[in-house]
Amino acid sequence: MEEITTGRIIIVGAGLGALYAALCLAPRPVLLISPDPLGSGASSAWAQGGVAAAMAQADSPEAHALDTIKAGAGTVEPRVAATVTDEARAHILALTDFGTAFDRSADGGYVLSREAAHSFARVVRVQGDQAGAEIMRALIEKLRGTPSIQVVEGVLARGLDSDGTKVTGVEVELSRPEGSAPVMLRGAGVLLAGGGSGGLYALTTNPARIRGEVIGMAAGAGALIADAEFVQFHPTAIDCGEDPAPLATEALRGAGAHLINREGARFMEEVHPLAELAPRDIVARAIFAQTQAGLRPMLDTRKALGAAVLTDYPAVAAACARNGIDPVSQPIPVAAAAHYHMGGVATDAHGRSSLAGLWVCGEAASTGLHGANRLASNGLLEALVFARRAAQDMLEECGAGGSDTVALPDLPTGETPDAALVTELRQTMTRDVGVLRDATGLRRALATIAQIEAAQPDCAQLQNMTATATLIAAAALARRESRGAHCRTDYPETRPEAARSFMTLAEARVRRSNPEDAPR
């Protein structure tokens, strides 16, 4: 395989964590590899609510940390919650300096949305549901004007070169159908910031590109994976047949929208004292139960927002318009959809993985912030905090580097995953590793994932996807309890002792070939 060596730090991904890390590393030279043109294909640009940060006078990082710990159902690392929430304000100010047009009040303060399980209105927002798009716009503009950052678009990372202890290179191929053979890129260090796993599920709010490949790549190189079983389902994906499903932001419920079913009943009131603003896992299970019972759950914005939904929440309004739904006069049909992976590559306080030379941030990482159920709008916050920390750590570890421009030869397109196999994988994950799980379904899922993996052994993309799917299902089978977003119908109780899970891909594969329901 052809090899290219550069003094640059290699960043894999093009979401918030990747761009922010590249800017924090500047003027240290960086090579950023994006499978798509910047601004498309990354989950961050689709984030609607915003960034959680204690910006209000009465609020505090301590209160934010407490809400984070409470929502996380026993497995949030308190030190991580304390430091991340403490740093939140500084990142909002940094994004503002980078040109992000957050909503501001007449007195210059930040307009804050309320989202589920937050004890304060705490989500720094942009035009109701435009936060992700606007933050990404501002960062891309800044990045394009930063000469130390070389961006290559249309190139996909397919694997890491590792001896099981240290990562020394990234294998890349074209993400378009043309080319000849993969190339190994060797840099001063590697930062993975390529998103989570939602696209492994048939019903998801994530862009199609985001399907566990980055986590799978790290796992394949031997990195330790944490909390893989904890996948968050968003209660209000718009149930309109689009794949991916458009999101109806939780901020709508924060603004007073209700959940009703086809009989007009507000079912959340009898489920939880916080009703529509109960923790996300509880609302998602209630929505799922309504769907399963044929009761057609819907988000009713009519009374709370009236016609303002059209102007104040443009992404939701556009999704409704595309699908013939008039939210001013009709409730919006919703379903619980895979939205965010709390699990990922285990990282320390500096974003370091268990492998030397490999840092990870954003949704691909598992830092201990989210526990078993992420607090709304803590995802972008975590990406910001750990992108900067990883950048600072890499600056110390990776030296000054060179500013050589990397010239990639004609790259090959890799073998594309067989569409029928991908469909089967996604349906399996939604059916057997979804909102509700049990041992029978999880064992069936592991067997199916193994068959899918064996059907296309030379397809790196598919192998990365099945690696992550295996980790999710194996960790879910091993966790014989229900906690946060992980709900086992055969083990409905939450065990008194709470612990995060840690697993390598090799361990997950052993469990897959011998799926006894081992206790955790």
Where along the sequence are the contacts to ligand SIN (CB under 6 A)?
A: 48-49, 249-251, 339-340, 376-377, 379
- Residue closer to ligand SIN, measured from CB, 267 or 340: 340
Helix (H) or strand (E) run with residue 507 in it: helix 505-513
- Residue closer to ligand SIN, measured from CB, 249 or 428: 249
Strand partners, 355: none
Nearest approach in angstroms of CB 52 to ligand SIN is: 8
239 contacts 262 by C-beta, under 8 angstroms: no
Which residues lie below 8 Å from residue 396, measured CB to CB, with a gap of 6+? none
276 contacts 283 by C-beta, under 8 angstroms: yes
Rg value, the chain, Cα: 22
Q: Would you call 280 a catalytic residue per the annotation?
A: yes
- Residue closer to ligand SIN, measured from CB, 352 or 370: 370
Nearest approach in angstroms of CB 304 to ligand SIN is: 15
Distance CA 92, CA 109 (A): 12
Nearest approach in angstroms of CB 20 to ligand SIN is: 17
Nearest approach in angstroms of CB 101 to ligand SIN is: 18
138 contacts 123 by C-beta, under 8 angstroms: no
Nearest approach in angstroms of CB 29 to ligand SIN is: 33
Going by C-alpha positions, the residue among 516, 172, 192, 138 that lies closest to residue 358 is 192
* C-alpha separations of 371 from 74, 75, 160, 343, 486 in Å: 7, 4, 27, 8, 11
Parallel/antiparallel/unpaired status of strands 9-12 and 30-34: parallel
- Residue closer to ligand SIN, measured from CB, 127 or 146: 127
Distance CA 26, CA 330 (A): 49
**Can you tell me whether residue 229 is helix, strand or coil?**
coil
User: Looking at 280, 437, 500, 511, which residue is catalytic?
Assistant: 280
Distance CA 18, CA 171 (A): 18
Phi and psi dihedrals of 299, rounded to 5?
-100, 120
Distance CA 318, CA 310 (A): 8
Strand partners, 289: none
Task: Name the residue type at position 418.
Answer: D
Q: How many CA atoms lie within 13 A of 282 on its CB side?
A: 19
- Residue closer to ligand SIN, measured from CB, 382 or 481: 382
Strand partners, 352: 359
Measure the CA angle with vertex 26, ends 21 and 8; round to 5°. 85
Nearest approach in angstroms of CB 169 to ligand SIN is: 34
* C-alpha separations of 372 from 103, 257, 280 in Å: 31, 26, 11
Distance CA 199, CA 437 (A): 18
- Residue closer to ligand SIN, measured from CB, 249 or 448: 249
Nearest approach in angstroms of CB 116 to ligand SIN is: 8
- Residue closer to ligand SIN, measured from CB, 102 or 340: 340
Find the helix packing angle between 378-397 and 16-25, rounded to 10°.
40
* C-alpha separations of 220 from 76, 165, 214, 315, 370 in Å: 26, 12, 10, 37, 24
- Residue closer to ligand SIN, measured from CB, 128 or 220: 128
Nearest approach in angstroms of CB 49 to ligand SIN is: 3
Residue 11: how many other CB atoms lie within 10 Å: 33
Which residue number is nearest to ligand SIN in terms of Cβ? 49
- Residue closer to ligand SIN, measured from CB, 55 or 473: 55
Nearest approach in angstroms of CB 201 to ligand SIN is: 15
Q: Note the residue count of the chain.
A: 520
Positions marked active-site: 280
